[in-house]
Amino acid sequence: MRKRVLLAIAVAIGLASPILWAQQKKALEVYFVDVEGGQSTLFVSPSGQSLLVDTGWAGPRDAGRIASIAKLAGVSQIDYLVLTHYHGDHAGGVVELAGLIPIKNFVDHGPSQEETRNVPQTYAAYLKVRGEGQHILAKPGDKIPIPGIDVQVISSAAETITKPLPGAGAANPLCTNFVPKDETLDPLVGGENKQSVGMVISLGKFRLGDYGDLTWNKEHDLACPNNLIGALDVYVVSHHGQDISSQPMLVQAEHPRVAIMDNGAKKGGAVATFETLKSSPGLEDLWQLHYAVDAGDHNMPEQFIANQGTGGTAATGVPDEGAVNYIQLTARPDGSFTVKNSRNGFHKDYAPKR
């Protein structure tokens, strides 16, 4: 009798394992790497192909962190690297990273449009690395061909899509409150930031928006007079949570269920952005890569914050070497997803929308 029971259990495990394995393989894994106030986000599709968005700061620290996360995710090469733009906190680490892990395809907005903050040097170094792989020029409306997921380019080279994505296009009543910013007064705002490659990445019913450092006025073009993006499940907070992006009429029209902010301790995480996010209809949670020092009580409870230290990267790139925690997201075709904080293991499941 005992042998029959054990045999039945073994058979059940044998039948269940392929089913469980198949369910896991249908997931999209996303890792938000801590590059302390810059950006680097690794996507691993159900087909096993990898998409890396940005490479953090120059030097061995961020490249090493990205390579470690790639190893953790079972990634042996970067199939597609998207550089949203050429500021040092987004593109600085590309040379060091290419020395640690092969990169096959390079996606960008085209030539650099800024002469400040060592952007020409960063761009020149990138071009040398890019020459060793395949180059794809991102254009609004194009797709990046990754099997198993849909990667739609919605902005690039200071242009945005002009037609709504499937299911989008509703009139946006919030547009009457739009006040443009004079981007000509700040070369950092009006230069590379507005060139950002923005994307909507989907797996079945799950949708995530990542727009790099797209600027306030360019966000308006996506939101008004009609919402060209539609509803999102996850919004990667633009520009690290600085208040020169994430304008309310775009964020609130997209109704994200979860926002993930790739801020540093002393970079991004503006109070105005926290208020925009927390007042967005339907937002369930905001997750942060760092505690935002200047935001005070606007920060989320500690279980939603990957790195609690008050050091971190300022605009100078001064690092807090002890902060190495990341946020992981697992998305499924039915629209459900899970977000996990590597620092404390805290995770939360989000059911499919009804």
**pLDDT at residue 241 is higher than 60:** yes
Q: Report residue 182's pLDDT band, with 50, 70 and 90 as the boundaries.
A: confident
Q: Which of these ranges, 79-88, 100-109, 138-147, 309-318, has the smallest mean pLDDT?
A: 309-318
Q: Which residue has the higher pLDDT, 284 or 183?
A: 284
Mean pLDDT of 287-292: 97
> pTM score, two decimals?
0.89
* Type of residue found at 68: S
Q: Which domains does the chain possess?
A: 27-350 (3.60.15.10)
Flag whether pLDDT at 19 surpasses 50. no
**Contact in structure between 44 and 33 (CB atoms under 8 Å):** no
Residue 340 has pLDDT above 80, yes or no: yes
Ranges 251-255, 259-263, 322-326: which has the least confidence: 322-326
Cα 314 from Cα 28, distance rounded (Å):
32
Residue 53 above 50 pLDDT?
yes
Does residue 9 have a pLDDT over 60?
A: no
Q: Which has the closest alpha carbon to 148: 24, 333, 22? A: 333
Output the pLDDT for position 5.
39
Structure tokens at 266: 């002393």
Residue corresponding to tokens 């020092």:
293
pLDDT band at 50 (very low <50, low <70, confident <90, very high): very high
Q: What is the pLDDT of residues 260-282, one digit of tens each?
A: 999 999 999 999 999 999 999 99
Q: For position 318, what pLDDT does the model report?
A: 42
CA pair distance 112, 141, nearest whole angstrom: 21
DSSP string covering 136-169:
EE--TT-EE--TTSEEEEEEETTEE-SSPPTT--
